[in-house]
Amino acid sequence: MKIQLLGATGSIGLQTLDVVRKDPSRFFVVTMTCYKNIDKLCELIEEFHPKYISVNEEKDALKLIEKYPNIEVGFGTQGLMKAAVYDLEAMVVNAVVGSAGLAPTVEAIKHGLNVALANKETLVIGGEIIKPLLLKHGAKLFPLDSEHSAIFQCLKGEEYKDVHKLIITASGGSFRDYSRAELKNVGVKEALNHPNWTMGSKITIDSATMMNKGFEIIEAHYLFDVPYEQIEPLLHKESIVHSMVEFKDTSVIAHLGLPDMRIPIAYALYYPIRAPFKGESLNLAKIKTLHFEEVDFDRYPLVRLAIEVGMKKGLMPATLNAANEAAVSLFLEGKIGFLKIEELIFECLEHFPQEKDITLDKILNRDKMVKEYLFDRYN
Ligand code: NAD
Ligand code: MG
């Protein structure tokens, strides 16, 4: 199977390559992209020999052309889009972080390519335009997010009309044992210390604010066509039950496993085959207790906000996402405190007007405007 890997140097990108590495006669990496981690990309090029690579800046592309005269090299948005559709028989793995993931997903779908999607921002901001494109071009999305891979597996062989609700589990992130008062003075280092998963910095902060869970509810709404009223978050600190589906007869099917993203990645890449995985087995007798708790929307206001914004559709989800991306990046740069992330998001949703009728250009334009609005204030 040919793979076009967008965001190869990130947490999901590298774990995808680990799955690829273990089965070299099955998988071929045709394209790879990264933003600016050029040294890592060079290592990967030498191991996986892609035909086409793309980076963010032209100056880096020029250096790579000199170093690898037999590989085609692109840069910027155009380069990323080309990497998504370079070979029309490949599967795209979108492991880019942020709104930059939307345009290449759209491009891949328009060319009829299936996409294994880690980039949840794609569906948060573009769910409304993606759904009709999938139908029109006969392309499929395979979820890589652990919760969505879990639900996808729980629904296998089931009738969607029999679903009563989706239950999306949440670890609670780095500050799950803190009260809101205790969040006032927390720092970047503590925020990046996720109890169960090692991930990119942006999603780790999104987990601490639980914006990640709000995004995942929007993502599930579009992936599984289930109304927001039938999707519930549930705190589960062990991250063993990755999500559940309750059916109309009250039966609940859950998906369990140790927290290792290579499992949902492999499930999508091998689908419908279950490939053997040489990992540790889940030993429930050893774990003994699993905890579950209702999500307190006052403690985690961004979860409720994301559901409300998801229901509003139009340009509001793009506004929410862009405000979050900018605020998280300002927090990571030490320019704002942790609770200011929420404050800036609420402010942007008040400031920017709704527009119901959306296109890819309108979404990307709103994304740019909101980010400029916040970055201009702090830079
Ligand atoms: P990461 O920061 O580790 O990696 C991001 C990748 O995207 C890198 O290769 C980087 O070079 C590239 N990139 C960054 N900005 C870019 C831009 N503007 N244009 C093009 N490329 C860019 O992130 P990650 O943790 O691997 O997450 C990737 C996506 O997967 C996110 O949407 C995240 O929410 C989702 N996700 C991640 C995990 C996880 O365990 N890491 C789990 C579930 C979902
Ligand atoms: Mg997840």
Nearest-atom number in ligand 1 for the CA of 119 is 32
> Distance between CA atoms of 67 and 309, rounded to whole angstroms?
47
Q: How would you classify the pairing of strands 252-256 and 241-247?
A: antiparallel
200 CA to middle of ligand 1, Å? 6
Token pair listed for 125: 């901001």
Partners of 225 in the beta sheet?
none
Residue ranges of alpha helices (H) inside 334-378 are 338-351, 360-378
First to last CA, the chain: 45
Pocket of ligand 1 (CB under 6 A): 7-13, 34-35, 37, 80, 95-98, 100, 118-121, 145, 197, 199-200, 202-203, 261
Give the 3-state secondary structure of residue 144.
coil
Confidence of residue 311 (pLDDT cuts 50, 70, 90): very high
120 CA to middle of ligand 2, Å? 9
CA distances 367 to 37, 75, 160, 214, 326, Å, are 24, 21, 33, 18, 10
Token pair listed for 98: 């942020």
> Distance between CA atoms of 153 and 164, rounded to whole angstroms?
16
Chain segment 70-91, per-residue pLDDT in tens: 999 999 999 999 999 999 999 9
Chain segment 342-377, per-residue pLDDT in tens: 999 999 999 999 999 999 999 999 999 999 999 999
**What pLDDT shows up at residue 141?**
98
pTM (two decimals):
0.98
**Residues 111, 369: contact at Cβ < 8 Å?**
no
Domains of the chain: 2-143 (3.40.50.720), 148-259+280-301 (no CATH), 314-379 (1.10.1740.10)
Q: What residue owns the CA closest to ligand 1's atom 9?
A: 7
345 CA to middle of ligand 2, Å? 21
Which of 42, 81, 97 to probe ligand 1 with, by most ligand atoms within 8 A of CB? 97
**What pLDDT shows up at residue 379?**
84
